[in-house]
Amino acid sequence: MNEAVFDVVIIGGGPGGLSAALVLGRSCRNVVIIDKGTPRNDVTLEAHGLLTRDGIKPQKLRQIARQQLRAYRNVTCFNDEVIQVEKHTKQFIVTTRLGDAFKARRLIVATGMIDELPAIPGFREVYGRSVFPCPYCDGWERKGEPLAVFGNEEKVVNFTKLLYNWSKDLILFTNGAAQFDGKFKQELTDHHIRIVETPVVKLQSNEGKLEKVLTETGQTFFRTGGFLLNTREKQAFDLSEQLDIHINERGGYESDDHGLTNVEGLYVIGDAKNSFVGLAGAAGEGYEAGVVINHELSMEDWE
């Protein structure tokens, strides 16, 4: 066990964790950041919508952030996986797969989510390449294209209406009987959006680019891309078995506006808190949690 007590240990080195590390580093805090390097957006080649970095490779973004953190010798990054977190009165003890253990006054969990995806052959090949979860991230590149929408809960109706902003050529694949009201079906058909309820058996693609959606009844639909409503995401690092932390109905860890959970001293930010918050959102939350934590620690140190 490393006997030093760090001000903050951050688990997860995505935009959330790295942003928290930057502001805490600049606040003269001793920080350890531990990342296992398997973010959910690793499947995609380009990330969009982040000011000054539109179209950047997700890995490149992290590389730049880590490089800039090197200027702060009070921040140390480890490539490792946290396997255990314990809370002792005023301290957290974080243990990693490689056998390190770190003590910290505050803990930030920025471990994100992982996606399970529908069990349709060919889905994994197109996910992040031509079929995406978020139109704000990837809608522009597919505007006006013949697109597939995958989803079946009532929420898919509004999701489809939203996607209509980027393309009018939409087919909604519910992959089984639609679980929403007939009046919604009518609304979509009135806008010339076809609803295919027959189960999808395969997605055919070429180097990640969707070409055809094939159904159980042998029908083939030509589509060049699409969007998926529900990625069946779950916590990348499930803390609930180790700490008595509250989970909200969306599977995110419950917290106040700044990321503080019901466990004193434990903050959660980014996708782990919100399911899907985007790069800018995660970075913003990291900054905010960092500022709040530094304020708290400064007041404690004064006493």
Task: Give the interface with ligand FAD as residue ranges (CB under 6 A).
Answer: 11-17, 34-41, 43-44, 47-50, 81-82, 110-112, 115, 128, 132-134, 137-138, 236-237, 270-272, 276-280, 282
Smallest separation, CB 271 to ligand FAD (Å): 4
Which has the closest alpha carbon to 20: 297, 256, 269, 280?
Answer: 269
Smallest separation, CB 141 to ligand FAD (Å): 10
Smallest separation, CB 152 to ligand FAD (Å): 20
**Nearer to ligand FAD among residue 51 and residue 299 (C-beta):** 51
**Nearer to ligand FAD among residue 136 and residue 181 (C-beta):** 136
Residue pair 101/1 in contact by the 8 Å Cβ criterion: yes
Smallest separation, CB 41 to ligand FAD (Å): 3
User: What is the C-alpha to C-alpha distance for residues 190 and 81, in angstroms, rounded to an integer?
Assistant: 51
According to DSSP, residue 70 is labeled T
Cα 60 to chain centroid distance, Å, stands at 17
**Nearer to ligand FAD among residue 159 and residue 237 (C-beta):** 237
Residue 284 backbone dihedrals phi, psi, to 5 degrees: -60, -45
**Nearer to ligand FAD among residue 16 and residue 118 (C-beta):** 16
Q: 143-163: b or e for each residue (b if 16 or more CB lie within 10 Å)?
A: eebbbbbbbbeeebbebbeeb
Smallest separation, CB 281 to ligand FAD (Å): 7
Cα 280 to chain centroid distance, Å, stands at 12
* Amino acid at the residue 27: S
**Nearer to ligand FAD among residue 201 and residue 292 (C-beta):** 292
* Amino acid at the residue 34: I
